[in-house]
């Protein structure tokens, strides 16, 4: 496993739509491992494959409950809304208010290709929505309410 370079806003790859993963190959497993390493190293709560320059529908999330690997994630249902602070490893040092569903139901495959459905709320629901947006070339700065503000570097 290895660290990969995180692409930042302005890099065109962040604006492209990712392709579905048809098969969990050794290469996809390596990508997942590297994404987890890269996310933890950067003190992030989530990372999507395009952020490391790979246009595949893969995200990793850890909101403090252990790693969640989602291959081909799909949000099936959303409930309610929450407005709160959001940041992104591709927009370093910044944060802003974003409204997201309070709860989501999402389907995905894990790193072994097994299918799951998860019901998530609060921060995890927010993280899933943020990361799935990345797979469609969307960044939170597109939907931020009000100005972005800078946050102290080193904050996590």
| Torsion angle of C-alpha atoms 15, 34, 66, 22, degrees rounded to 10 | 60
Under the criterion CB under 5 A, does residue 60 sit at the interface with Ni ion? no
Between the two ends of the chain, the Cα-to-Cα distance in Å is 23
Q: Least distance to Ni ion from the beta carbon of 47, Å? A: 7
Q: From CA 23, how far away is CA 59, in angstroms rounded?
A: 15
Nearer to Ni ion, 53 or 113 (CB): 53
Indicate the DSSP class of residue 80.
S
Q: Least distance to Ni ion from the beta carbon of 66, Å? A: 20
Under the criterion CB under 5 A, does residue 127 sit at the interface with Ni ion? no
Q: Interface with Ni ion by CB under 5 A: which range of 5-13, 27-35, 83-91, 119-127?
A: 83-91
Under the criterion CB under 5 A, does residue 59 sit at the interface with Ni ion? no
Catalytic site residue from 81, 121, 131, 145: 131
Q: From CA 136, how far away is CA 15, in angstroms rounded?
A: 7
**Could you give the count of Cα atoms lying within 13 Å of 17 in the half-sphere of its Cβ?**
2
Under the criterion CB under 5 A, does residue 88 sit at the interface with Ni ion? yes
Is 131 part of the annotated catalytic residue set? yes
Number of residues that bind Ni ion (CB under 5 A): 1
Residue numbers of the site for Ni ion (CB under 5 A)? Answer: 88
């Amino acid at each position: 496993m290895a660290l990969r370079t995180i692409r930042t806003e302005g890099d065109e790859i962040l604006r492209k739509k990712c392709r579905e993963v048809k098969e969990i190959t050794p290469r996809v497993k390596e990508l997942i491992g590297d994404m987890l390493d890269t996310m933890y190293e950067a003190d992030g709560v989530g990372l999507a494959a395009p952020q490391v320059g790979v246009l595949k529908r893969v995200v990793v999330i850890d909101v403090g409950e252990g790693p969640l690997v989602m291959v081909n994630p799909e949000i099936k249902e959303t409930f309610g809304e929450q407005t709160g602070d959001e940041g992104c490893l591709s927009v370093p040092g910044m944060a802003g208010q974003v409204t997201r569903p309070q709860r989501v139901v999402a389907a995905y495959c894990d790193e072994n290709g097994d299918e799951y459905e998860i019901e998530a709320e609060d921060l995890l629901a927010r993280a899933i929505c943020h990361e799935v947006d990345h797979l469609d070339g969307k960044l939170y700065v597109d939907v931020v309410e009000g100005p972005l503000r800078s946050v102290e570097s080193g904050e996590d």
